[in-house]
């Protein structure tokens, strides 16, 4: 389909939507839909909330699920709930940074534990954590804490487990942001002590987004789960911690389901799959004589700048409605063929996650001493692909990038 400026798509979307989708979308225009998009999900589900003691059952397309929300845990309640706790944030990477600063801004007693010679120590100091006051090495931080939040990289969780496990004494709580280490314990060797609560809050986004949404007064969606409940309070503690680190809504799951869906999703539509689709489409266009700019615009620029935001704001039908009838006819037809072709690949991927192959590969690769250099080399190779070099030129023409 032809690339059209966003404003044109917006106008067409609003015309088509109000003409054709009146009952379904209540005469949404795209502009109003986008401006309301942040509030919309809540408004849309409010009608189907069934609330009892702060727990909400929400009907997700016919399946009832339990969701917890930040509104049930105002800051005063969090401060009261954690008044006797010291939270040790072990690791200060993407999640450590986001969750740690949110906990600190919420007024909780949080300390950071990282190795002294690493980059994270310097990063933490730059963010105002003070050595000897609320910044310690890992062992010392764990010893001072009641709640240990293991936010090391997944490979590092496995590597450091022999020294961390003996410090996890009775009465402490162990917190993860990924089910990876305990679920794949045969490979990671992370066998948790039997006498402590083990819980999970997994934000569905990067640590940077955890922080940004919190600062905007919103919250990220997170999964919440209990692996081991010794005190009978594990679930409640996990939900409270989820809110304290910056979650807006917490969706109930298990450690297993969280890790399987997470590894699967990032290898699929979220990252690997979409990169593969971009490359395949771009290469065919180039091999068939199209220019780099045309191939890039038809593959990436229009997707990320125009069409995917429409899906994000109001769904796939809304995106289709915003496009020409020519585009719509072809896209609906071809979506079936893509689904049939790709589904076996997705099944292979799920098997590879479920049987531990992905975990094994990740642990082996990410435990190598030179893993950062190797990634940097791979990322430089991606950066150097023609498609992404063409993308730089296209982005340089955006008004905001022109002086
Ligand atoms: N990033 C995400 O988008 C995301 C989203 C949801 C959940 N999670 C989960 O959150 C957890 C943390 O992920 P992350 O992405 O924040 O991790 P990360 O950015 O990769 O952070 C790595 C941290 O681990 C430390 N580390 C690495 N190797 C170490 C070693 N051998 N000994 C001691 N410390 C070591 C690093 O310290 P140095 O600086 O000293 O190396 C750094 O503080 C993981 O379980 C991950 O799956 C991540």
pLDDT in tens, 315-374: 999 999 999 999 999 999 999 999 999 999 999 999 999 999 999 999 999 989 999 999
- Predicted local distance difference test score (pLDDT) of residue 55: 66
Give buried/exposed letters for 122-151 (b at 16+ CB in 10 A, else e): ebbeeeebeeeebbbebeebbeebebbbbb
pTM: 0.85
Q: Which amino acids bring their CB within 6 angstroms of ligand 1?
A: 91-96, 114-115, 118-120, 151-154, 156, 159-160, 177-178, 180, 202-203, 206-207
CA of 339 to the centre of ligand 1 (A): 34
Using most ligand atoms within 8 A of CB, pick from 93, 100, 129 the residue to mutate for ligand 1.
93
Residue 32 pLDDT exceeds 80? no
Kindly write down the DSSP assignment for every residue of 164-222, as one continuous string: HGGG--TT-EEEESSSHHHHTHHHH-----TTSEEEEEEESS-HHHHHHHHHTT--EEE
324 has binding-site annotation: yes
- Predicted local distance difference test score (pLDDT) of residue 10: 37
Nearest CA to ligand 1 atom 32: 156
Using most ligand atoms within 8 A of CB, pick from 138, 150, 156, 206 the residue to mutate for ligand 1.
156
Average pLDDT over residues 197-205: 97
CA 396/CA 1 separation, integer angstroms = 23
- Predicted local distance difference test score (pLDDT) of residue 54: 57
- Predicted local distance difference test score (pLDDT) of residue 74: 96
Our answer to whether residue 290 is catalytic in this structure is: no
Residue 226 pLDDT exceeds 60? yes
- Predicted local distance difference test score (pLDDT) of residue 262: 96
CA 82/CA 242 separation, integer angstroms = 13
CA 13/CA 372 separation, integer angstroms = 45
30 falls in which pLDDT band (50, 70, 90)?
very low
Task: Write the DSSP symbol of residue 71.
Answer: G
CA of 179 to the centre of ligand 1 (A): 14
Over the chain, what is the mean pLDDT?
Answer: 89
Q: Which atom of ligand 1 is nearest to the CA of 155?
A: 28
pLDDT tens profile 102-161: 999 999 999 999 999 899 999 999 999 999 999 999 999 999 999 999 999 999 999 999
403 falls in which pLDDT band (50, 70, 90)?
confident
- Predicted local distance difference test score (pLDDT) of residue 56: 82
140 has binding-site annotation: no
Average pLDDT over residues 368-386: 96
Q: Which atom of ligand 1 is nearest to the CA of 203?
A: 6
User: CB burial class (10 A; 0-12, 13-18, 19+) of residue 353?
Assistant: buried
Domains in the chain: ranges and CATH: 66-253 (3.40.50.720), 272-401 (1.10.1040.10)
Average pLDDT over residues 246-274: 97
- Predicted local distance difference test score (pLDDT) of residue 38: 33
262 has binding-site annotation: yes
- Which of these ranges, 49-63, 218-232, 342-356, has the smallest mean pLDDT? 49-63
Residue 3 pLDDT exceeds 60? no
Residue 286 pLDDT exceeds 50? yes
3-state secondary structure (DSSP) of residue 99: helix
Q: Which atom of ligand 1 is nearest to the CA of 91?
A: 43
266 has binding-site annotation: yes
């Amino acid at each position: 389909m032809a690339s059209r400026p966003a404003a044109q798509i917006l106008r067409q979307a609003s015309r088509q939507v109000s003409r054709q989708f009146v009952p379904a979308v209540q005469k949404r225009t795209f502009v109003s839909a986008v401006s309301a998009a942040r509030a919309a999900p809540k408004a849309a589900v409010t009608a189907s909330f069934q609330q009892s003691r702060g727990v909400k059952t929400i009907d997700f397309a016919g399946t009832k699920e339990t969701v917890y929300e930040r509104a049930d845990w105002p800051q005063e309640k969090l401060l009261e709930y954690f008044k006797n706790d010291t939270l040790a944030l072990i690791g200060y990477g993407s999640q450590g940074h986001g969750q740690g600063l949110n906990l600190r801004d919420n007024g909780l007693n949080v300390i950071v534990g990282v190795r002294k010679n690493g980059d994270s120590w310097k990063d933490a100091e730059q963010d105002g954590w003070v050595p000897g006051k609320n910044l310690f090495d890992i062992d010392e931080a764990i010893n001072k804490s009641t709640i240990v939040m293991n936010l090391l990289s997944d490979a590092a969780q496995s590597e450091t487990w022999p020294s961390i496990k003996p410090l996890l004494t009775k009465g402490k709580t162990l917190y993860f942001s990924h089910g990876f280490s305990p679920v794949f314990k045969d490979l990671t060797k992370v066998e948790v002590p039997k006498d402590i609560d083990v819980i999970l809050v997994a934000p569905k986004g990067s640590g940077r987004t955890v922080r940004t949404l919190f600062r905007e007064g919103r919250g990220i969606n997170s999964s919440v789960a209990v692996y081991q409940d010794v005190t009978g309070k594990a679930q409640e503690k996990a939900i409270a911690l989820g809110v304290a680190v910056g979650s807006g809504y917490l969706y109930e799951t298990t450690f297993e389901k969280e890790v399987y869906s997470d590894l699967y999703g990032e290898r699929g539509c979220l990252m690997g799959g979409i990169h593969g689709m971009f490359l395949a489409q771009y290469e065919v266009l180039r091999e068939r004589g199209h220019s780099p700019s045309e191939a890039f615009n038809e593959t990436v620029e229009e997707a990320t700048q125009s069409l995917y935001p429409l899906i994000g704001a109001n769904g796939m039908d809304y995106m289709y409605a915003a496009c020409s009838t020519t585009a719509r006819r072809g896209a609906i037809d071809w979506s079936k063929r893509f689904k049939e072709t790709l589904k076996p690949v997705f099944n292979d991927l799920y098997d590879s996650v479920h049987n531990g192959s992905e975990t094994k590969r990740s642990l082996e690769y990410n435990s190598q001493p030179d893993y950062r250099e190797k990634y940097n080399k791979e990322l430089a190779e991606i950066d150097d692909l023609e498609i992404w070099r063409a993308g730089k030129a296209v982005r340089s023409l955006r008004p905001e990038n022109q002086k």
